[in-house]
Homo-oligomer: A and B are copies of this chain.
Amino acid sequence: MSDRPPTLHDVARHAGVSTATVSRVLNGGPVRPGTARLVRDVVKRLGYVPNQVARGLVTGRSMVVGVLVPDLVGPLNAAIARGVEDVLEAHGMHAVIVTDHRDVVREAKRIETLVARRVDGLVLIGSELDDPTLTDVTATTPVVHVGAERAPSDERFPEVRIDNQAGIEKALARLAELGHRRIAHLAGPRRDGRERHDAIRQLAPRYELALAHVVDTDFSEEAGRDAGATLLRHRDFTAVLCANDRSAAGFYQAARDEGLNLPDDLTVVGFDDLPWSAYLDPPLTTLRQPGRDMGRLAAERLLHPEASDAWRGVRTLVPNLVARESMAPPPT
């Protein structure tokens, strides 16, 4: 039952050839068709599977790239990881996903073990490490960021990220078009939260929109509800931009508690477009993050640093405004 798995050597012995020959039929070296068939038979019969550890040791490549994700809840990270897998698979490589649960120390540790395992590359989602630490810990392993927490300045670390400003502008433009004049914002934490907040502050005037109130959240439903309750003590705004869909869901609840009728009394806009956002009541208008595309881009960049359509530094993607029923003209 628990006998040692068959090795290259076993196969060679059973087939009456040398290990070199077996290695060749496995990797496509020059070998006579007859012997090849014979060897393949033995391989199948023994259920031989090449030991990737040993192979990796000699080739220096592991054919796997590590994907570090803050956490697995949240379909956005899942989508990004999926995008990475798409292109890896097309190259015969594999993605292993590792979580760090948003903890800088743990993140560094995780990266270290990934590097120690000699992954061929690293996709870091929402990394919180600064460039020096990262340089230190990644050694010679190539890295690509997706939505890094601290803007990388080091040329070694290219980044794919969402263009929060462009997204916010789309939303603001539409709100203005509908006739809104005063808005509120459920702000979020971290870089995305700040960028969205800054964008609103900066761009609102351009659309003759006044930013009446801002309340902080931590991106969670609960925080959204609490912030909503706070916000709704005032009623001098007709639309609220939420930093993400989860907080928007929480805000919905606060609005219901206040007896508000969405969207007639108030317009709500989210950010992300999660799978269930269309099933809220009313269906949520939101800015869709193209997670899968972001993952694809990152992986391409990792695998082909010198591609024709190469880019350096940061590569930015613009979210789409998905208009649903939570958005309406302001009450008259």
Minimum CB–CB distance from A45 to chain B (whole Å) comes to: 12
Minimum CB–CB distance from A254 to chain B (whole Å) comes to: 10
**Number of chain A residues whose Cβ lies closer than 8 Å to a Cβ of chain B:** 58
Contacting residues, chain B, for A53 (C-beta < 8 A): 53, 56-57, 62, 117-118
Minimum CB–CB distance from A222 to chain B (whole Å) comes to: 9
**Set B113, B253, B281: member contacting A253, Cβ < 8 A:** B281
- Bound state CA distance, A57 and B57, in angstroms? 8
- Give A249-265 as 1s and 0s: 1 = Cβ < 8 Å from B's Cβ atoms: 11011001000000000
Query: With A52-B116, A54-B57, A72-B82 as given contacts, are A250 and B221 in contact (CB-CB < 8 Å)?
Result: no
Taking the complex as formed, is A317 at the interface, i.e. its CB lies under 8 A from any CB of chain B? Answer: no
Q: How many copies does the complex hold?
A: 2
- Bound state CA distance, A249 and B51, in angstroms? 46
Contact between chains at A276 and B276 (CB < 8 Å): yes
**Set B96, B117, B256, B283: member contacting A281, Cβ < 8 A:** B256
Taking the complex as formed, is A205 at the interface, i.e. its CB lies under 8 A from any CB of chain B? Answer: no
Other A-B pairs, 18, CB within 8 Å; known A50-B116, A85-B99: A3-B140, A51-B118, A52-B116, A52-B118, A53-B57, A53-B62, A57-B57, A64-B117, A73-B79, A81-B99, A96-B98, A97-B98, A221-B278, A249-B276, A253-B279, A253-B281, A280-B281, A281-B281
A interface residues (Cβ-Cβ under 8 A, vs B): 1-5, 47, 49-54, 56-57, 62, 64, 71-73, 75, 77-79, 81-82, 85, 94-99, 101, 110, 112-113, 115-118, 136, 139-140, 221, 225, 246, 249-250, 252-253, 256, 275-276, 278-281, 283
